[in-house]
Structure 1
């Protein structure tokens, strides 16, 4: 496998200056380009800029959306890897439309001799054509990596390069139209910078993409369901690859349940959820179960009961039934993160549930706590079925687990927004570059908004939400980024995809960019049925 050494970065400056227009050489740590601030591939461009690779056009811009042609990208890649003496004499009439006198001839002909490019069946290279993603991936990956296999007989010629990008963990753009997508200068920066070396790879491997990116290298390992996984009262839908409840003719109870469920989906958002703002007091009674897989085992009862709940503290049947409700919103693939199940109460319609990390933070273990009174009464507050709350709580585990946080980083003061910069700072730690909450932070929040939300909570003021009502699905979402992403995730799971252009709609649409989350949504909805 070929990997470019960091020392090779300096060589990129010359070809970018000559190939991509009126570029200027750049010293290290320059200010960001004015047209790349909050740009999806800003970090990749910044890495190249700070490495002395690019400084932009004479007007100071980078023009990240400008499309490259085939000759330009070939020159970029060849000069980034090979020494001048290796390709200096390579110019020849290697394609019918590439003459030895062309400025790009030595790069194209050398690439052909190295097996990096092959040209078209008619013997042309078409150097001035805009380069599409299939062609770009072939040039980039053939240059950086050895022994990429050919595509199968029944596959498109470029499929092997999409597969190699997946294998390397490198995103590509517009997964549904990957071959035809024309590559821009911003995307070129991502492809080149990502492949430079391991030191850079960790910093820029995953970016906040617009459009559909391929997120097939997920960390959850979801697999489509099979018919064997269906219960006796379920049928298997081949198209959805999911199990659904079926009602026998004349089974009024079953049909009533389905009607109630359908009505819930249609109307639940009229009554948003009320997520826990903190844990119940340690002085209150807690019934604690240990969790292993799908099973719960009584562990202990702590505290003193301060609220009368009848026999609910001792009613293990109710405890088990409530646990079954928790299981419905947490797929088995992720349920092993939960090691403790707690039951508490603070009375009706206060804190319904919460989740909290337990034990050694590096183990990534969580406790789920449920208000037994609210759960047993189906939540008498006007917020719809209690499952709403549980979906919200699951979103915290999904977005704040150790796969999403940088390992070994403890945050002493979550109000220090610069502690994890440029990533988001949370009480759970510093988010990884590719964490859902970090991408969400860069898309929708930023440091200034974090500070405004925190100040509003401290002052018990509604002003922040009222001034930004179009940005949040509920007023509770405006209290913090952790609650915002969890509330938006609840809307993603429970409702149809919004078509509006308000920020709150875009937040829900955000989750559809991740196929693994779309599949998770399908599983939860099917389980709740």
Structure 2
């Protein structure tokens, strides 16, 4: 069956939520050692569950058929404003669940009980067999029900086990508690996007929730495995390699005016061309200059780290203005659009302005990996951490850790007074704040917002040697060195700068 846009988006969450969060639980009745915590956290982070009014999740409570209908309709993003409400004899048109049940029926996701299928049984508790049958229809597993002496649900159990959606302990007639449904739904979403990269805010993962450390097998040619750091670093014993690597980045930096990124974390205007990005290819075929600018970005950033970028726009706002930006896609609201200025990105001869564009693209990529799903929850009803505008930072998010360490004591002096989700001030408006704390920012632009600060600092982390000092700027750059996966990413990028 056709999967609808919302479901496809949920299944394509990528990067740090390619698997459920390994962080602390969001619900007081789901302890950190709870066997289903990861699946429950996952559904919370993507906005499918919010818990009960008292803040609990009630993991052991059984799930009924009315609740299931609502969950899958919400997952698919269906508008129920004008949904039918008269679809089964036992579903009252004025019942809260009527539009969800009838919408799910119209989509072919749920069926009635009994031979005639005239009743639904909205309050009846679900069993594993029924849940898996719905998952099969929802995710297009195309499993045929058992016939003859085989129980109808056996093929669904076999399919789910083969996909590791269930672990083999469950049987068809077993009633399903909310905790098991969360795990089944979370794993089904991960399976649906089988190519989602295994990358998180703290560790690499396999495709089903089990943490796997970076190992020597992950190292590239010219790198060695640093056991203390738990990551791969450049092998300086190879004659000249580290000197050559730093020389390349120094030469690039020398070509860029200090503190000038011409970057913006917003949607670009003056669009000249729009391309979709699929399997690392641009469609339609890009003009030579446009392709060259994209290839500079594609060469710098690993493929699995740029799968959140689904569109590439080329624009112009005239010379020496905005060089590049990223923004959330209008069509796929959990994905990103990279926009690059043709006038500033390419010279009159059609040559890419490699130095300035490299620095700016690193800045824009930092926005993507610090503001993506898995770092933020986009539709959080409230935010107890930091609201970036795109969403609420999760407790283990890079930007929340960065904010707590470097912004908590100075936010009161910022033009926004530390308020979340308000319009970012201009550089002119933020100048008095920057003048007060100039020694704490890598560039004046970094003082604009915490999001710009972490992005600007990331470029310094990548392009400059590890600082040995204790200044706030040095501490900010060293913030990234505590994450082995970011050190690994830095090594990859620096190997691409020539």
User: Relative contact order: is structure 1 or structure 2 higher (C-alpha 8 Å, sep ≥ 6)?
Assistant: 2
Q: Normalising by the residue count of structure 1, what TM-score does the alignment of the two structures yield?
A: 0.46
